[in-house]
Amino acid sequence: MNWEKSRVDINLYSQGDVDKWVYSTCNICSIGCGCYIGVKDNKIVGIKGNEDHDINRGRLDPKGENQWYANKSQDRLTTPLIRKDGTLQPASWDEAMNLIVTRTKETLRTIGSDGIAFYSTGQGTLETYYTIAKIGRAGLRSHLLDANTRLCTATTEWCLFQSFGSDGVPASFEDVDLTDTIMLFGHNPAETGTVFFERIMERKRRTGKPYIIVVDVRKTLTAKEADLFLQLKPGTNLALLNGIVHLLLKNGWVDKDFIGKHTVGFERIHWATEAWTPSMAEKVTGIPGHIIEMAAQVIGKTNSLVCTTLQGAYQTADATSTCVAINNIHLIRGLIGKPGSGPLHMAGQPSSSGNRTVGGVGTYPGNRNPGNPKHIKEMAELWNVNTSDLEVGPEKGIEEIVHLMEKGKIGLFWNINTNPMASLPNRQRAKKAFENTFVVVQDPFLTETTEVADIVLPPAIWGEKEGTMENADRTINLLTKAVDPPNGIKSDFGILLDFAKRMGFKDKDGKPLITYETPEQCFEEWKKVSKGRPSDMSAATYEKLKKYNGLRWPIDEKYPLGTPRLYSDFKFHTFPDDAQSYGKDLFTGRPRTKEEFESMQANGRAILYGTHYVPPVEQPREEYPFWLTTGRLVWHWHTRTKTGRSPYLQMIAPEGYAEINIVDAENLGIIPGELVKVSSPRGSIKVPARVVDTVQPGLIFVPFHYGTWENNQSANELTIDFTDPLSKQPTFKQCSCKIKPVRNKIMISENQTFEDIAEINGLSLEELAKINQMMPPYRADIGDQIEVPLSCANVKIPPYMPYRNIQKFPHFSQPELPYKKE
């Protein structure tokens, strides 16, 4: 049972009572917490958790509690903008939409359908995504439909295709409440999904279960609660898993009956992991062999197991192979489709899974295979278009689209509710590509990306529109409209319908391609499209979703109230005409042909793979001796377009920084808070240093939330744009860098002492001595050059830990370090 007690988190700023509380779902992380939006005088004035919603029982993430400040932000755009003479200038909707239509038609004429690319989001509604799919695939006949989900959870999709034939995470949060063991692999829910983590910890405190294994390169807040923490070297996830699987096989901790009946390919695992002895795994991962043995023993003997993954697994070398290796573990142990067991590959955003499900990104709607003629025919019939109008083949990832933009092959790039100029790796390359392309940006605010836009369209935000979202465990939640958007603003859904109408998209009988007018009508059409497919929602209605506070797909005749876990019958989607994809070669990423897929003869059985470790492409070396990794803070969301507009969140974490281990800081003479320059072969940033013990020696961590074009704090000035060969997800988590303090040099004059210089620069004597590598008695003579930091900033990031008493258990903080400022 989840949650012993409810707790209604509320954040309200209203004089007098609210007029109404409107049913909705949190629009921040992927957990999918139920909430109510407080409304007074047709304005959003607060939020409270929905205590009847099983997922959160009233709790909210700190970002979720503060998301509504963006709605009332004074700098919201209220009119479209068109770039004229180099600057964005206000325009009417007619002007903007007609220009998009003109540009679209021109592109279709000159470049063709593949000259138009959509790049959407994981924060929209299923109805918006489905409409993107229908317009993009059937209207424009393009297959370049991508989204920021590529940066977030594309690996989830691909590891599920590979092992089980279809998207859809097998386990759900209910299994987390039942499991004996949970492995959080590259997943830091204490900061990225606080309600989910609180759920785990609440049960742990009450019952002692589950046993928690955490795998991470950083000693995260999550790791601090682990029973077993495996702190590995960057880029060695797969080496660790191969080491664990080696021990499972060696000790016979496998379910031979399950393997024989429900899987194919077992022999491949044996061969691939044979060499991965504990000593070999230790050599590569840096984790002592006996700790790896301990982890294998727990995993090998547990009666139930849930493994979660997130960006530490996805945005890294061997991403899909790593997640497939986790699927392998569940399959060879027979721990899938049973209460308390199954892989739970997470999502990062509130509805990134939903975009995949309905075809706004990735494959065709309803988990249909774009390489299967039968599925293309089905879609053509459902949409009443010619089969030849629907392009064959899966999507291209954003890195590939950027490459097409560089070559001038994209005539129109339509960017919806995402900020790629802050979030894409190696962003200077991306910027040049965007500047080379006609770009439409749909965003409520001016962002780094609107700087390269030709047209900006202002859409409604959460609370101002209705629709459904799919969270990380297949739960479909409803959002209802609490207030009207400000004058002059349209919903994403409305903008797309307007575009379809202006383009005059028709079906093969000459009738309008899109006939629905409201999100609910769209959902009803989607239900027909989903029928009979893995993500069947034919038995769902808006009313039911609200009544039951979300339902997990499939929601069909057999399971009218949804399905907590998939594959409880051990039948997988691996018949060739059922599969969502024929998959790819796990090592090279080469797409398999239908015949190759058929030759595997999985036919309803899960597929096991040999997983082969490949080291990260870029590694530390003499010129760039450190690893760089990036990640999130509990206090901010993505590029802070929303959370940066909450005074509370912005005050807690106002600027970027670089975390460096105490030992490295000492070696380099870096003092806490001083300005440092972090450089990689792509670029450099200047941020204050946070000297901590949470990153291992040799590793620098930079949060990716920050970075306007002016302030030079963007982690993505540094990151590499290499991608996983299967999922095409960028490897944000590993590249090389160097770090050095940014300092002024001062010459000691006859009227100045060393102590004077320390005082003027706000430093203690010890700090100044440390910077200048001086020993007591700190003598400096006239004419000597003394280095002082260019600036110092006290970078304190308070932890958010509702599951424990932070007074009793203080988080590691900067002032506790030996080199503290007085």
Partner 1 sequence: MYHTIDRIYQTFQYLLANFPINNNPLEFRIRPLLYESNHVLYQIHLILHQPQPNLYQLKQLFSILYRDDEALDPLVRAWGRASIWMEITPSNVVQHRLDLYQSIQKDLERLVPYIKGIYGEEDTRYIVPPLYRKEVGADY
Positions in the binding site for partner 1 (CB under 8 A): 104-105, 108-115, 139-143, 317, 371, 373, 387-389, 391-393, 396-397, 399-400, 403-404, 503-505, 584-585, 587-595, 614-618, 621, 623, 681-682, 720-723, 725, 728
Nearer to partner 1, 10 or 111 (CB): 111
Q: Which two tokens stand for residue 225?
A: 């609660």
Nearer to partner 1, 102 or 753 (CB): 102
Nearer to partner 1, 38 or 616 (CB): 616
Nearer to partner 1, 239 or 249 (CB): 239
CA atoms of 694 and 688, how far apart (whole Å):
16
- HSE, CB side, 13 Å, CA atoms: give it for residue 496: 32
| 689 close to 667: Cβ distance less than 8 angstroms | no
| 320 close to 726: Cβ distance less than 8 angstroms | yes
Taking residue 346's Cβ as centre, other Cβ atoms within 10 Å add up to 30
Nearer to partner 1, 78 or 601 (CB): 601
CA dihedral 65, 50, 800, 644 (to 10 degrees): -20
Q: Residues, the chain, total?
A: 822
Nearer to partner 1, 426 or 643 (CB): 426
Q: H-helix or E-strand containing 711? A: none
Minimum CB separation of residue 728 from partner 1 in Å reads: 7
648 residue type, one letter = Y
Nearer to partner 1, 17 or 509 (CB): 509
Minimum CB separation of residue 455 from partner 1 in Å reads: 19
Minimum CB separation of residue 582 from partner 1 in Å reads: 10
Nearer to partner 1, 615 or 654 (CB): 615
CA dihedral 442, 446, 450, 455 (to 10 degrees): 50
Minimum CB separation of residue 215 from partner 1 in Å reads: 21
DSSP 224-284: GG-SEEEE--TT-HHHHHHHHHHHHHHTT-S-HHHHHHHEE-HHHHHHHHTT--HHHHHHH
Minimum CB separation of residue 588 from partner 1 in Å reads: 5
CA atoms of 119 and 417, how far apart (whole Å):
9
Q: Give one word for 286, left, alpha or beta, with left for phi > 0 and alpha for psi -120 to 50.
A: left
Minimum CB separation of residue 510 from partner 1 in Å reads: 13
3-class state of residue 44 by DSSP: strand
Q: 131: exposed, middle or buried (C-beta count within 10 Å: 0-12, 13-18, 19+)?
A: buried
Minimum CB separation of residue 101 from partner 1 in Å reads: 9
Nearer to partner 1, 104 or 304 (CB): 104
Q: Which residue has the tokens 């040049």?
A: 432
The Cα angle at residue 99 between residues 93 and 104, in degrees rounded to 5:
125
Minimum CB separation of residue 465 from partner 1 in Å reads: 28
Nearer to partner 1, 131 or 468 (CB): 131
| 468 close to 478: Cβ distance less than 8 angstroms | yes
313 residue type, one letter = A
Nearer to partner 1, 52 or 381 (CB): 381
Q: How far is CA 33 from CA 18, 58, 488, 677, 822, in A?
A: 21, 8, 30, 39, 43
Nearer to partner 1, 293 or 618 (CB): 618
| Nearest alpha-carbon partner for 157 in 383, 397, 340, 426 | 397
Nearer to partner 1, 398 or 555 (CB): 398
Minimum CB separation of residue 583 from partner 1 in Å reads: 11
Minimum CB separation of residue 601 from partner 1 in Å reads: 17
Minimum CB separation of residue 502 from partner 1 in Å reads: 10
Minimum CB separation of residue 436 from partner 1 in Å reads: 17
Q: How far is CA 582 from CA 265, 322, 338, 379, 396, in A?
A: 16, 19, 26, 18, 16
CA atoms of 217 and 233, how far apart (whole Å):
6
Q: What are phi and psi of 659, to 5 degrees?
A: -90, 135
| Nearest alpha-carbon partner for 723 in 149, 151, 114, 118 | 151
CA atoms of 361 and 394, how far apart (whole Å):
9
Where are the strands (E) in 50-177, listed by range? 81-84, 87-90, 116-120, 145-147
Nearer to partner 1, 140 or 344 (CB): 140
Nearer to partner 1, 331 or 380 (CB): 380
Nearer to partner 1, 57 or 584 (CB): 584
Minimum CB separation of residue 111 from partner 1 in Å reads: 8
CA dihedral 778, 779, 783, 788 (to 10 degrees): 10
| Nearest alpha-carbon partner for 535 in 346, 344, 366, 363 | 366
Taking residue 502's Cβ as centre, other Cβ atoms within 10 Å add up to 15
Nearer to partner 1, 3 or 499 (CB): 499
Minimum CB separation of residue 392 from partner 1 in Å reads: 4
Ranges of H-type helices in 359-503: 373-383, 398-406, 420-423, 427-435, 492-503
Minimum CB separation of residue 590 from partner 1 in Å reads: 4
| Nearest alpha-carbon partner for 488 in 77, 96, 43, 99 | 77
Minimum CB separation of residue 507 from partner 1 in Å reads: 13
Minimum CB separation of residue 718 from partner 1 in Å reads: 11
| Nearest alpha-carbon partner for 148 in 126, 120, 128, 125 | 120
Q: What are phi and psi of 257, to 5 degrees?
A: -65, -45
Nearer to partner 1, 440 or 513 (CB): 513
Taking residue 681's Cβ as centre, other Cβ atoms within 10 Å add up to 14
Minimum CB separation of residue 506 from partner 1 in Å reads: 9
